[in-house]
Every structure is written in C-alpha cells, then in structure tokens.
C-alpha cells in the first residue's frame, strides 16, 4: 500500500525534465552548421528560395496549393449553439484587415524558414467607425489582423532566467531598427518541427542545403570554365624593357597588363588599347574540360534537392527517366506532404487562436468550433467514383450534403446557385420536410419553448449562410 502511494505520488509529480533547447543570448544554437543559425541561416534560406529555380518553384507551387485549399469552420455539436459559434468564427476570419488567402500565403513562409510567427491583434466589433472598423456591430471581440513577424527581423528570443521557455520575441525591423518586444501570448507561431520545442522549427530546405551549396558552386565554376575555354584565356606579352611592379609599383607596365587581362570580356563593348610592342592574344588550354561532366554533377545535386522535399516527380520528363506509374506514386507522396503542411496550420490555429478568441468573449466551456480544410491535391476521380459506388451499393455510405460538397470540390465542379434559385430553395426550407422529422413527426432541430419553429428556421438560415460562403480560399 505504501509502495502504491509512493508510486502514485511520483507519477503525479510535476515535470522535472526540460526540453534542453540550446539557446544562448536569445539565439537558437541547435544547428551544427554555424552558417545556418539565426539571421545567417535566414539569409541562406532566403537566397535559396529567391535565387534557385528549383527551391523557388517548389515554394511557389506550395503557395498556390495553399491558396486553392477551402477552409471551413466546423461546429463542436450540430445544434443551434454550435452553429452560432461556428458562424461567429467564420465572421471573425472574414472581418480581418487582410483576406484569409493573404494570411495563408504569408503562412507558407514556414516552409523555407521553419517558422512563421504572427502577431494577433484583437478588436471590439463596434461597426465601421473608429480606428478598428468592423463589418459587425455586436460588441464582441474579434480579430483585427494576423500580421507576419518577418523572420529576418527577429533579433532574439527572450527566455525565462535559466530556462529555455520562450516568453517574448524581440524584433528589430528597418528602417528605424528600434527594438520592439512582443509577448509570446500575442504570438501564434507556425512551425514545421517542434523538436525540443524549438521556436524556429526546421526549414524544409535543411536537408537540401548541401546539394544546393555544391550545385550553386558548380554552376559558377561551369560558367567561368565555359567562358575561359570557349573564348580563351587573355594573354599579354610585354616587350623587352617594360617596367615591372618591383620597379614602378602600381604605375608599371606589368600592373597595367594585369589590369587589362582581368577586365577583358568578349561582348559588344570589348576592346583593348595596347602600347607599341605589346602583344595580346587569347590562349586556349590544351586540355579542355568536358562540359557534360559539369552537367552530370549539377543534375545529381538537383535530384538530391528534389528528393529532400519529396518532389522528385518534377524531374520526370526532363531527364528521360521514370515511368508514369512512378511519377504518380511520387506525386502522391508530395500531396501527402502538402496535406501535412496544411494540417500544421490547422492544428496550430485550433490549439492557440480559437480557445483564446472564445475566452476573450467569455466562453470557457471548451465547446469551440474547429477550423478544417478540404483535401489537398486531386484524387483519381475514376477510382473515387468506383469506391463511392461500391460503398453506396453495399449500404455503408448514404449521399448527404457534406458528401455532395466534397465531390463538387474535388471535381472542380461549379458551386452555388443563382439568387433566384437560392430564394426558391429558401422558400422550400420553410415547408415541413419529412426527412427532417422523427417517427412522431417532430422536427429534429431545436424549436422555441412556445412551440414555434423560429429556432429551426434560424438554424437553417445559419446553415444556408455557411453553405453559401463555401469556405474561404
């Protein structure tokens, strides 16, 4: 008995270990490469995404995929209260200064940098007057905006004394470069990885850095080699009696000849002025490097870059290798990765922002709606049709509005209806629907205590409004 009590006391004791995050002076020191730590690492990843066609194209493709995702607010329970809260969350997202699509585009910076911190700014929804205008005048607390804290402006991460716990972000942005302290309670930070609770996460290009480094240098060497072996190496033969650097220094003939050969370029402005007796020519090296060797090495590193980000299928068709089936399988891996990236945004939003929003509005029962998204990528419609047909024929699946909207979404079919059609549908909704009644003929939606159907009609109105929105792009 005493042993059990001791074991229970030990098991229920507070956490004694720490994350072990290596943070020193506000800088995260986790990466073993010095050039990939802090601001120097941000600069490297920024160069990769902006200066490399593979990395830049990959990020652009994911950004477009993020923009095509439809976001929906799902009620905690399908009752009137749940629908009202979901509708409120939708209104909050639509009442921000920046459109939701812009915020999601900024959130994709989590991929190259590993983290994307946003500052949450709230407001009172008191109409369109004042410094924080709103489309609503219900007095509730909404969201003014989610503003990205640019990764290259973060000066340091403030921590508790002798603890790796982050308590604030210190920003030092241009043009004033004055320090701004942002408490971590005002920040929602999207991260690719949470190992050691590292606020900087890990860049998607971390494993691609080595092949990118070699490929970058090989391309520079290739350009120099082709210029020198193709046009030739500039050569100047000085006449007898020419002055040397040892005699005249910077004013010597030797130094002038060195300056000339360094600046010679074969282009439309090329030209040389020589003194009497000087001889200029373009010498060709006896052993020329095969340009295909550079090409093979560059292609190998390019393939390694694509493999590191699960986008090897982008290479199929350019190197004359790879079957259609292999391309389809590789694309599936890429779409699974895309789904994971979108889920990171969704889970972080649901865990950090939504509870805070409802607590600020005095709702603390934990029955909060959830932000969710449609499937990323394009499934095989033929296979999907056969699968749904099999399930419906065996009775495991019945058609419903949710399934209908999903199929319209994945097939890119037109959505919505005209104004007149919606009005006609709204009029039909006012009539009793036998499918929405139980065995006793009572409606399944909640009604008011006086027996009227105002509650039911209001619930249907909210459902139609949410359906008309068709989510956010």
Cis omega (within 30 of 0) on the bond before 175? Answer: yes
**Distance of alpha carbon 165 from alpha carbon 98, whole angstroms:** 31
Cα–Cα distances in angstroms (integers) from residue 382 to residues 197, 389, 409, in the given order = 43, 11, 15
- Per-residue pLDDT, averaged over 173-177, amounts to 94
Per-residue pLDDT of 411-451, as tens digits, reads: 777 765 544 444 455 555 555 544 444 444 444 444 444 44
Residue 147 token pair: 């503003």
**Tell me, what's the pLDDT at 69?**
83
**Tell me, what's the pLDDT at 133?**
92
Q: Give 315's pLDDT tier (boundaries 50, 70, 90).
A: low
**Distance of alpha carbon 398 from alpha carbon 395, whole angstroms:** 7
Per-residue pLDDT of 70-114, as tens digits, reads: 888 999 988 889 999 999 999 999 999 999 989 998 999 999 999
Range name among 16-30, 126-140, 225-239 with the lowest pLDDT average = 225-239
96-123 as b/e, with b when 16 or more CB fall inside 10 Å? Answer: beeebeebbbbbbbbbbbbbbbbbbebb
Q: Are 48 and 207 in contact (CB under 8 A)?
A: no
Per-residue pLDDT of 15-58, as tens digits, reads: 888 888 999 989 999 999 999 999 999 999 999 999 988 888 88
CB burial of residue 297 (10 Å; 0-12, 13-18, 19+): middle
Q: Give 183's pLDDT tier (boundaries 50, 70, 90).
A: very high
pTM as predicted: 0.74
**Tell me, what's the pLDDT at 470?**
47
Cα–Cα distances in angstroms (integers) from residue 175 to residues 41, 146, 153, 155, 172, in the given order = 22, 22, 11, 14, 9
Residue 463 clears pLDDT 70, i.e. is over it: no
Q: Give 319's pLDDT tier (boundaries 50, 70, 90).
A: low
How many of the other CB atoms lie within 10 Å of CB of 443?
15
Q: Give 59's pLDDT tier (boundaries 50, 70, 90).
A: confident
Cα–Cα distances in angstroms (integers) from residue 368 to residues 75, 201, 291, 348, in the given order = 7, 28, 62, 14
């Amino acid at each position: 008995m005493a042993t059990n009590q001791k074991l229970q006391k030990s098991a229920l004791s507070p956490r004694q270990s720490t994350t072990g995050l290596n943070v020193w002076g506000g800088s995260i020191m986790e990466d073993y490469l010095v050039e990939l730590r802090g601001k120097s690492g941000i600069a490297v990843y920024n160069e990769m995404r902006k200066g490399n066609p593979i990395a830049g194209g990959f990020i652009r493709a994911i950004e477009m995929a993020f923009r095509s995702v439809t976001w929906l607010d799902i009620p905690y329970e399908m009752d009137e209260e749940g629908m009202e809260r979901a509708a409120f969350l939708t209104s909050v997202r639509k009442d921000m200064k920046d459109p939701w699509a812009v915020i999601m585009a900024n959130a994709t910076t989590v991929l190259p940098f590993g983290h994307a911190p946003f500052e949450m700014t709230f407001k009172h929804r008191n109409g369109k007057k004042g410094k924080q205008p709103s489309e609503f005048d219900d007095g509730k607390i909404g969201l003014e905006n989610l503003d990205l804290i640019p990764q290259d402006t973060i000066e340091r991460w403030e921590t508790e004394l002798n603890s790796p716990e982050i308590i604030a972000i210190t920003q030092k942005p241009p043009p004033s470069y004055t320090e701004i302290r942002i408490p971590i309670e005002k920040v929602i930070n999207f991260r690719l990885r949470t190992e050691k609770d590292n606020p900087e996460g890990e860049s998607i290009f971390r494993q691609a850095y080595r092949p990118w480094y070699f490929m970058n240098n090989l391309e520079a060497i290739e350009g120099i080699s082709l210029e020198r072996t193709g046009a030739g190496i500039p050569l100047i033969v000085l006449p007898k009696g020419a002055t040397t650097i040892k005699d005249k220094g910077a004013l010597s003939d030797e130094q002038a000849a060195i300056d000339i050969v360094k600046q010679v370029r074969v282009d439309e402005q090329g030209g040389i002025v020589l003194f009497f007796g000087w001889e200029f020519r373009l010498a060709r090296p006896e052993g020329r490097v095969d340009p295909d060797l550079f090409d093979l090495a560059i292609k190998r590193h390019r393939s390694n870059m694509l493999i590191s980000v699960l986008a090897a299928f982008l290479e199929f068709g350019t190197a004359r290798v790879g079957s259609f089936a292999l391309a389809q399988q590789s694309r599936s891996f890429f779409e699974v990765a895309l789904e994971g990236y979108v889920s990171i945004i969704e889970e972080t939003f649901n865990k950090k922002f939504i509870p805070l929003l409802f607590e600020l509005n005095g709702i603390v029962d934990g029955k909060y709606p959830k932000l969710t998204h449609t499937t990323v990528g394009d499934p095989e419609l033929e296979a999907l049709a056969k699968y749904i047909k099999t399930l419906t024929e065996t009775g495991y699946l019945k058609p419903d509005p949710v399934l209908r909207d999903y199929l319209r979404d994945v097939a890119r079919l037109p959505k919505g209806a005209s104004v007149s059609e919606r009005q006609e549908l709204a009029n039909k909704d006012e009539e009793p629907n036998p499918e929405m009644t139980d065995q006793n003929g009572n409606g399944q939606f909640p009604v008011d205590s006086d027996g009227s159907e105002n509650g039911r009609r209001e619930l249907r109105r909210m459902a139609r409004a949410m359906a008309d929105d068709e989510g956010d792009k």
